[in-house]
Structure 1
Amino acid sequence: MNRARLLHDMVRIRCAEEIIGDVYRDEQEMRTPVHFSIGQEATAVGVCAALRREDVVYGGHRCHAQYLAKGGDLTAMVAELYGRRTGCAAGRGGSVHLTDPEAGFAASSAILGEMIAVATGAAWAFAEAVGRAGRQPAGERPDAEGGPRVAVTFFGDGASEEGVFHESLNFAALHRLPVIYVCENNRYSLSSDLTSRQPAGHSITERARGYGITARRLDGNDVFAVHEAALEAVRHCRAGDGPYFLELDTYRWREHVGPNRDHEQGVRPADEVESWMRRCPVRRAAEALRATDPGIDARVEDWRHRARRETYAAIDAAKAAPFPDVADLLTGTYGT
């Protein structure tokens, strides 16, 4: 992967979400809860760039960046936020139920931890498809490039406190499933800090290792480090060595749900937010590339202009699209 491409993808996601956030706040036409990934772009971009198109990604409620990083259609995503028939979920799911199967973004859900189990099930199916789940003799490693498809699930630190987290990791370890668990540890579950929810001296990574799973914790705002770790995780899974766990330390700049900045209301300490903003993954990547690519700043500005045009065009297309037909209200529901 071209390192500049990683920066490009983060710039595109940052611009798209900032514009959507402004329009959401100012126009009040998107009637769906929105959970922005502004400040967390490196986790989604670094991981998804290591995947094949046929690998599948599952996200939680904060899924815009993951959807776009995996190749999801921006125009369809914006239409979904507006509840239009041209949306990626036909205007029925809103921000937290994005999907683009052709790009390999399988699904997202607002139910905390749900997609951890679903991704584990997908990995079970992938392993079964190559006849290897839990049955490959020790020491026999197929070529990693010819290995099974990989399932990836993104979730936050709060989801690691759900029972499904432990059940899924145990099952995946037992059957050596090709699944990558990506914990975006942004320290907060709603407005509750990690230290008020989990005992001191322990880490989420250590819990994963407790199931015999290979696990790493690293700086989630360093897109290049995340990408290298994700490449290793993918090789590990395709080789039949079982699941892999990545805990990526990062931080969201906006409130839990909505376009505003919650430190202005005292939800989080202002100095804490500002310290993380100084660790901006987009700026850090640009600075790292500047030494070998002196024209990177001009390219970033060009990418920003392109991303802004693309996003505003998607907004215009969404506003011009029809709402779902009332006659189709029950289509796709249970029993129909």
Structure 2
Amino acid sequence: MSTAELDTINPADALRMLRTMRVARQMSQRIAKLYPTDVMETPVHLCIGQEAVSAGLCCHLTDADQMLLGHRTHAPALAKGLPLRKLMAELYGRTTGCSHARGGSMHVFDPEHGLPGSSAIVGGSIAVGVGAALSSKLSGSDFISVSYFGDAATNAGVFHESMNFAALKQLPVLFLCENNGLSNVMPVAEHAAYEIAGVASQFMPVFRADGTDALSVYREAGKAVRQVRETRAPVFLECTTKRWMKHQGHERDDLEINPIDPVTDCPIARLERFMIGASLITPREILALAKEIEAEIDDAIEFAERSPYPQPEFVEA
């Protein structure tokens, strides 16, 4: 990234992306420390290393735009506007959580910010995102929808069916594939006999971004979202990224299976280097931001810990 890229990004959006990514990263790191103590009542799929995808995308979305997520929800839900307190309380299984302790990590819900739900089933939310786009078209609304999924979901029949239906009916939906290269521990090349973007190109325009580079995502997501809004027709965006943690849980991934370079593969470090070079932020300001976010995470944990557990009558309601 060079300072010439200042021409392609609003400095306020660069700061927004950095904050969004740091919130997701620092919260994930805290979850990884807390998870072995069994205070959380849910499995967790951490987003460390993948934060730039949702941060860059959500700069171009409004609260009215509907985003349907898969099982790896934390970073995209926070980027879309889900409050830290509500997410943490949900992880703790408390009634103040975003899904009132009924959903856990994989079923987040925040309609005020355009999060109508997420699915633990791989590929399970893709068609729902298309349905949201159909609703927008039939009601004459302006909002668009985003079907947000990983590379493994492209093996599901619903992925192909949904793209076909969206293209046939010309629906305002962005298909966003967050391609971290792994289906659990299986590389894409071992489970897909096709290029994902190549398949999508048979149905709709395709954009591709480096998901470890926030500016690349910001630029390509901006083009993709703008095209969906202007044409009211489907578009596909693939963001290639790296998953730093195991598929599920708090441990780092096997570096033999998934080698990580903490310098070139870290989207936060890459954006911070750019912003320092472009005089958008100083190292001291970055430290202050990190400290501010830690205080917000402390507050979210305290809120979760003092919130009530659901009672039997609540579950039966």
TM range (shorter): over 0.9
Instruction: Write the letter of the residue equivalent to 2:288.
Output: D
Q: What 5-or-longer segments of structure 1 have no aligned partner?
A: 131-146, 332-336
Residue 209 of structure 1 deviates from its aligned partner by: 0.6
Q: Is the 8 A contact 2:209 2:217 kept in 1?
A: yes
Aligned mate of 1:221, from 197, 208, 212: 212
Residue 276 of structure 1 deviates from its aligned partner by: 6.3
1:31 aligns with 2:41: yes
Q: Is the 8 A contact 1:19 1:308 kept in 2?
A: no
Residues 10-25 of structure 1: pairs in structure 2 closer than 5 A: 10-25=21-36
Q: Which has the larger radius of gyration?
A: 1
Residues 119-268 of structure 1: pairs in structure 2 closer than 5 A: 119-130=129-140, 148-199=142-193, 202-211=194-203, 213-263=204-254, 268=255
Aligned mate of 1:269, from 242, 256, 265: 256
Residue 294 of structure 1 deviates from its aligned partner by: 6.4
TM-score normalised over the length of structure 1: 0.88
What corresponds to 1:138 in structure 2?
Answer: none
1:287 aligns with 2:273: yes
Q: Is the 8 A contact 1:29 1:82 kept in 2?
A: yes
Q: Is the 8 A contact 1:150 1:238 kept in 2?
A: yes
What corresponds to 2:301 in structure 1?
Answer: 315
Distance in 2 of aligned mates of 1:297 and 1:288: 12
Instruction: Give 3-state SS (helix, strand or coil) of 1:106's partner.
Output: coil
Percent identity between the aligned chains? Answer: 38
Distance in 2 of aligned mates of 1:73 and 1:295: 25
Q: Is the 8 A contact 1:36 1:62 kept in 2?
A: yes
Distance in 1 of aligned mates of 2:263 and 2:281: 24
Distance in 1 of aligned mates of 2:15 and 2:103: 33
Instruction: Write the letter of the residue equivalent to 1:150.
Output: I
Instruction: Give 3-state SS (helix, strand or coil) of 2:109's partner.
Output: coil
82-91 or 219-228: which moved more? 219-228
Residue 273 of structure 1 deviates from its aligned partner by: 2.4
Question: What is the number of residues matched between the two proteins?
Answer: 306
Tell me the C-alpha RMSD between the 2 structures: 1.5
Residue 52 of structure 1 deviates from its aligned partner by: 1.1
Distance in 1 of aligned mates of 2:70 and 2:262: 22
What corresponds to 2:94 in structure 1?
Answer: 84
Distance in 1 of aligned mates of 2:280 and 2:151: 38
Distance 1:240-1:278 versus aligned 2 partners, 3 A rule: closer
Residue 278 of structure 1 deviates from its aligned partner by: 3.4
Distance in 2 of aligned mates of 1:88 and 1:274: 33
Runs (4 or more) in structure 1 with deviation over 2 Å come to 272-278
Residue 262 of structure 1 deviates from its aligned partner by: 2.9
Instruction: Write the letter of the residue equivalent to 1:303.
Output: L
Distance in 2 of aligned mates of 1:315 and 1:121: 35
Distance 1:277-1:105 versus aligned 2 partners, 3 A rule: farther
Distance in 1 of aligned mates of 2:160 and 2:72: 21
Q: Residue by residue, what CA displacement relative to the aligned partner does 1:248-290 show, whole Å, maximum 9, x if unpaired? A: 0001100000010131xxxx516x4233663200000011111
Residue 127 of structure 1 deviates from its aligned partner by: 1.0
Residues 300-311 of structure 1: pairs in structure 2 closer than 5 A: 300-311=286-297
Q: Residue by residue, what CA displacement relative to the aligned partner does 1:185-232 show, whole Å, maximum 9, x if unpaired? A: 001111111111122xx4100100112x01122211111111121121
190-199 or 62-71: which moved more? 190-199
Q: Residue by residue, what CA displacement relative to the aligned partner does 1:129-158 show, whole Å, maximum 9, x if unpaired? A: 22xxxxxxxxxxxxxxxx720101211100
Q: Residue by residue, what CA displacement relative to the aligned partner does 1:60-90 show, whole Å, maximum 9, x if unpaired? A: 0001001000010110110000100111100
Instruction: Write the letter of the residue equivalent to 1:290.
Output: I
Q: Is the 8 A contact 1:39 1:277 kept in 2?
A: no
Distance 1:301-1:184 versus aligned 2 partners, 3 A rule: same
